[in-house]
Chain A
Amino acid sequence: MSAPSSDDRVIEFRHVSYRLDGGRELLSDLGLEIRRGETLVLLGRSGSGKTTSLKLINRLLVPSAGEVLVEGRATTAWDAIELRRHIGYVIQDVGLFPHFTIERNVGLVPRLEGWPPARIRARVEELLQLVGLEPARFLSRYPRELSGGQRQRVGVARALASDPPLLLMDEPFGALDPLTRAEIQEEFLALQCRLRKTVVFVTHDMREALLLGTRIALMEVGKLVGVYSPEEFLRSPDPLVTAYVAAFRNADAGLNRGRP
């Protein structure tokens, strides 16, 4: 593999710290590069700072120290609106607009961008199909008329709507049952093969990280432990990594219960 050239780095964290007004530090001295077309998984337990890191990328938060570069430009040098329209964002709590139909929810950014209605409509149908929701049944429904998993898929469709080159996905498949989850993970891989978007994907599920990530960044209480390829991750001697792997092995052991 050739060394990444500078324009290969779509997102770069340079010595980034994020501190609350009260002084509590949520992220300290984070350094991380995300390359074009890769799926970087942020893995870490609850409260380790994954969501905070994502919000620094689309400038929902601004670093207290250091800087986050997107396409080589500090987020603070971007026009915030332009930056955010450039980045698809699937938020952890989904956050669909309760007063909009599914059609309007998914078509929101294209609408803001002033696409003609026919094109928005076609795009929305295409996306709903993509996330496995039959357009005819879902277009005119409201979010409250959907199950949690269906809402989550609408959230993914909405983030993809204007075909942004960058995607931030915060536990996008968290509320899905294992079967649907496995299905949509497969779809994600197939899609990623085709679209080659740059994705930052947050999860605390190691299996999901190994399956979807080209690289895995492990976080622990606001610090980056390390960045690994899936193979490296499984072989790493780092105790924080081995603890993770062991926990999942134990869970797997449960599958063998009651077998001869």
Chain B
Amino acid sequence: MSVLEFLKSFLEFCAHNRAQVSALFLEHLWLVGVSMLLAVLIGLPLGILVTRHPRWNRPILGSANVVQTIPSLALFGFLLPAPWLGERADRLAIAALTLYALLPIIQNTCTGILGVDPAVREAARGMGMTDRQMLFQVELPLAMGVILAGVRVATVITVGVATIAAAIGAGGLGEFIFRGLAMVDNRVILAGAVPAALMALAADFLLGRLEHRLRQTS
């Protein structure tokens, strides 16, 4: 089968199954979106906490690091016995993806805040800003570019790892990939892999633009 023929048959397969492709695409997007939202909601405060209380640095970054080293499939497995999470595949997948995305977000929040020019920090304190004012008016705005870079990395990773969620029945584009592997049909694998790659590229591009704009104003 020539490349062109293969491409034609792949596109035909997609066109034929477009309802399912788009359904799985949306499901994938949902898994990634919810996980990222949670990861930011958890990671950002943890990152801030670490800059305020350096003794939390090791336990927090250490655990996030350990999570990162667990192979993703195994992480899904480890969470299976967890009480409420284990009941439904999508909960389980979201929990695992969130844990996975935490490290770059915590790390970049921390790096971004600690990277604020000491002179600026000193001026802010010297002018009588409270810790809160300093955080919201100075540190977070100035660190936003770096934080967003972390979110961007985490999102791209999560889009990829989320394909494995299909292995525990949480759906997403991984369904095609696993099915294709079982059927030994590259068209089916690509019907999952190509949209996932496009999603990762799009997320990377959009967050990159946002990051660039924020860095320009800071």
Interface residues of A, Cβ cutoff 8 Å to B: 58, 60, 80-85, 89, 91, 93-99, 108-109, 112, 158
CB distance from A54 to the nearest CB of B (A): 9
Complex CA–CA separation, A98 to B215 (angstroms) = 11
Give the contacting residue for B120; candidates A81, A97, A112; CB below 8 A: A97
Interface pairs (21), CB distance under 8 Å: A58-B126, A60-B126, A80-B128, A81-B129, A81-B130, A83-B128, A84-B128, A89-B126, A91-B122, A93-B119, A94-B123, A95-B120, A96-B120, A97-B138, A98-B117, A98-B218, A99-B217, A109-B128, A112-B129, A112-B133, A158-B127
Across the A-B interface, the 6 shortest Cβ-Cβ residue pairs: A95-B123, A84-B128, A93-B119, A95-B119, A85-B128, A89-B126
B residues with a Cβ closer than 8 A to A are 117, 119-130, 133, 138, 141-142, 217-218
Q: Which A residues are CB-close (under 8 A) to B126?
A: 58, 60, 84, 89, 91
Q: CB distance B123 to A81 under 8 Å? A: no
**Closest residue of chain A to B218, judged by CB?**
A99
A108 to B125, CA, bound (A): 12
Q: Which residues of B contact A89 (CB under 8 A)?
A: 123, 126-127
Q: How far is the CA of A84 from the CA of B119 in the complex (A)?
A: 16
Decide: A95 and B122 in contact? CB cutoff 8 A: yes
Complex interface: chain B residues within 8 A of A108 (CB)? 127
Contacts of A83 in B (CB 8 A): 128
Contact B218 A60 (CB under 8 A): no
Docked Cα-Cα span, A81 to B121, in Å, equals 15
Q: In angstroms, how far is the closest chain B Cβ from the Cβ of A142?
A: 8
A60-B126, A84-B127 are known; give 7 further A-B pairs, CB within 8 A. Answer: A60-B125, A85-B127, A95-B122, A97-B120, A98-B218, A108-B127, A109-B127
Contact B129 A94 (CB under 8 A): no
Question: Cα distance A60–B128 when bound, in Å?
Answer: 10
Cα distance A63–B124 in the bound complex, in angstroms: 21
